[in-house]
Amino acid sequence: MDLSFKRIEAEDIETLEPYFYLRPTLVCDSTWFDSYLWRDYYEVCFCRPDENAILWRMKEEGQHSMGMPLCKAEDLPKYFEVTRQYCHEVLHSPLRIYEADEEAIQILNLDPEKYLVEEAVDSADYVYSAESLRTLAGKDYHKKKNHVNAFIKEYEGRFEYRRFNCASKQEIWQFLDRWEQNKGDDVGHHLDAEVVGLHDVLNHCEFMRAKMGGIWIDGRLEAFTIGTYNAPRKMAVIHIEKANPEIRGLYPFINQRFLQEEFPDAELVNREDDVGLPGLRKAKQSYHPLFMARKFNIFEKE
């Protein structure tokens, strides 16, 4: 099979981006950012078999897997089969796809005699009302609003929100160094790899079609966040959010302010999954998601 996969590079983002919206989904992978952020950790490669689709190949701990093809819904069965054939003829292995979106599972309606489909519970994304997170109105957000008000009161006149540009990357690196030293042991190896990916993102800042903002207190960066926009779904996807945990109210403040400044028209907010970490799960649940964007692993039976 003549499919030529190449490693995803920053220069590919402009070409790849339109393909993500051929079949717009509600998962965090509905925009390009995570594919690039994790390109080294998962050895992310892509292939364009023709003008109508993008195929994905990943590798972790020596084992290959594929991604759900980016294409129109009506073309998904065709390119799923192309992906399966590539696994058999080139990789000499059965098809494995991790974290497929629920809509794809419904479209494909895979034969249970041929495929095992399992829900990836720890990979489900938290999806929220954007208006609720922008306003923090109502009793569900009373505690969050109190924390935000406490932050504003304590640091009034000392903080500012700024959008990032490429010249800010040195400040972010310095912040990440401080954050890594204080993050504790419960965040896991997964987030260490995320920091490595962030360095790569910032080194290619000029190609990053993403929103980036931060909070400076007394002239020092204390929180920053990165998001992208899934326009067909009117959904902001918050990929990165890090703040000094010693500063009360800083996390909910940057969450709110970033959406107000950068995504005023968003109707939904995807804040990604909790990777099975209890601390992250508690934090994400505290913002009262509307629903979970479920994901599934697909294993072809041998």
**231-268 pLDDT per residue, tens:** 999 999 999 999 999 999 999 999 999 999 999 999 99
Residue in this structure with the two tokens 């209890």, named with its chain if needed:
278
Q: Out of 5-14, 114-123, 199-208, pick the least confident.
A: 199-208
pLDDT (average), residues 15-35: 96
Judged by DSSP in three states, 93 sits in coil
Q: CA-CA distances (angstroms) from residue 289 to 101, 213, 270?
A: 18, 23, 9
Query: What is the token pair recorded at 134?
Result: 């922008």
Neighbour count for residue 204 (Cβ, 10 Å): 14
- How confident is the model at residue 2, as a pLDDT? 75
Mean pLDDT of the chain: 93
pLDDT (average), residues 284-291: 97
% of the chain exceeding 70 in pLDDT: 96
- Please answer whether residues 220 and 184 qualify as being in contact, where contact means their C-beta atoms are separated by less than 8 angstroms: no
User: What is the C-alpha to C-alpha distance for residues 200 and 247, in angstroms, rounded to an integer?
Assistant: 28
Supply φ then ψ for residue 17, to 5 degrees.
Answer: -50, -45
- How confident is the model at residue 176, as a pLDDT? 85
Query: What is the token pair recorded at 243?
Result: 């703040």
| Nearest one of 165, 166, 159 to 243, comparing CA atoms | 159
Domains and CATH numbers, the chain: 6-124 (3.40.630.30), 125-292 (3.40.630.30)
- How confident is the model at residue 78, as a pLDDT? 98
Q: CA-CA distances (angstroms) from residue 256 to 51, 262, 289?
A: 39, 10, 15
User: Which tens digit of pLDDT belongs to each residue from 108-118?
Assistant: 999 999 999 99
Cα 175 to chain centroid, rounded: 21
pLDDT (average), residues 90-119: 97
- How confident is the model at residue 195, as a pLDDT? 82
User: What is the C-alpha to C-alpha distance for residues 208 and 131, in angstroms, rounded to an integer?
Assistant: 26
pLDDT at 192 over 80: no
- Please answer whether residues 301 and 266 qualify as being in contact, where contact means their C-beta atoms are separated by less than 8 angstroms: no
